Homo-oligomer: A and B are copies of this chain.
Amino acid sequence: MNEVGVGIVGFGTVGKGTADAILQNAAEIEARTGARIRVASVCRRSPLTNGAVPPGAHAVTDWKELVASPGVNIVVETMGGVTAAHELVRAALEAGKPVVTANKNLIAEHGGELFELARRRNVPIGIEASVAGAVPIVRALAEAVCGDRLLALRGILNGTTNYILTRMSQDGLSFEEALRLAQQAGYAEADPTFDIEGIDARDKLCILARLAFRCEISPAQIAATGIGRVSAEDFHYARRLRATIRLLAVAERHGDELEVSVRPWLVSRKSILSSVEGAHNAVMLEGERTGTHMLYGRGAGSGPTGIAVLSDLMQIASDMAAGKLAFRQSVAAPCDVKLPISAHRVLAPWYLRLTVKDRPGIVAQVAQAIARQHANIDAVCQEPDLKKERLSFVVTVEPVSECAIAQAVKEINSMDFMLEPALVLPILEDAGL
């Protein structure tokens, strides 16, 4: 069979982007796969106007009809949400039809179960589009560095927060001003909670950490701290420290444990991750043999995400054309490695921003609290011309475990001059070299 019919469920931005790419690059796709891919069917709850239906495609409003259609050989799930998408993907796999999905929530929550079902039915499932748009990070982890022992994965996985932090850094804006700009530019939703609280990045990290470390992990196990407490002031200090601030999703091996977190980091200008600006995504990998490498690109949008969906479609269509369609072990390898999820094991230098009512002796008291944890202060810096009533200063601390720094900060936060809890950021010094 050299003609492969695709059924797209949830014909929104990504679904349309996929259909457009299939239509416009048909000849090229055939040359590269040996198969003619065509959009056989599209499904959307609210009926599409005729002009919106791809030429030659059948429009339906019930996904069950699409899955059952003999003309649909591969099901593309771009509807989003979890419950209905879960039902759809299960039904397609049960029917022996390969699935390509762009749904990070679904794979983060139910990936293990769906991979197992795909294995039993011996059909492939493609998830490249579920993380970081056109950045081929799923392939990189599943097929390129899979022979290496990974030590750490550090990603900028949420374009909205990276856009906000970039504007704060470049234009000296407050968090609220930058968020408003992001909303105006269409990068942030009216309710931006999922992005700015790190929930979106958490789902993506969950998917990547499983691929990288083959250990079972659920989004709820990942501690997420948002960017709401990062202020314009922090970017002043960051600049003085030759650094910037980024929301990083991190999974790091510590001996036989895995530490996973999403939170803002102070990122040194020496690290190439500090060069990732605007709504871009990037993932930096550190492998025992491969050293440090990075993938970078657009993380969202109909163009990039549509091409990510298409990349999985082409691989599956190519296998169909060659008569060797089967479950793909690489993206869906069993997650049977035992790496307990740990917390507070990160060993890093630290950035503490303290907001205080000034009086003599503050630095001495803070320094004593840090010294009691056997940690060394690297620098103390303060912006000039601040009001005595409410001033901020920054202390950077040489590498020490998060346990130790948390203990020191707990003590500092209870001191009477503190006007709000200290902002604590780990520092990424130089992951790029």
Contacts and interface: CB of A to CB of B under 8 A. Distances in A.
A146 B293 contact: no
Given A34-B329, A145-B136, A293 B295 contact: yes
Nearest to A136: B144
A148 B25 CA distance: 7
Interface stretch (A101-109, A303-311, A341-349): A303-311
Contact of A144 (B134, B293, B330): B134
Contacts of A253: none
Given A139-B136, A289-B21, A148 B307 contact: yes
Given A21-B289, A272-B275, A296-B296, A147 B307 contact: yes
Majority DSSP secondary structure for residues of A touching B: mixed
Most buried by B among A22, A140, A144, A315: A144
A266 to B, nearest CB: 18
A308 B291 CA distance: 13
Interface string A116-145: 000000000000100001111001101111
A291 B297 contact: yes
Nearest to A211: B32
Interface string A338-367: 000000000000000000000000000000
25 contacts: A21-B289, A32-B146, A33-B330, A34-B329, A134-B145, A134-B291, A135-B293, A136-B145, A139-B143, A139-B144, A143-B314, A145-B307, A147-B310, A147-B313, A277-B433, A278-B433, A291-B303, A293-B296, A293-B297, A293-B298, A294-B294, A294-B297, A295-B295, A314-B330, A318-B330
Q: Which 6 interchain pairs have the tightest Cβ spacing?
A: A293-B297, A136-B144, A147-B310, A289-B303, A324-B324, A134-B290
Given A136-B143, A288-B303, 16 more contacts: A21-B148, A32-B214, A136-B140, A136-B144, A143-B311, A143-B314, A148-B310, A272-B275, A277-B433, A278-B433, A289-B307, A290-B307, A292-B298, A293-B296, A296-B296, A322-B327
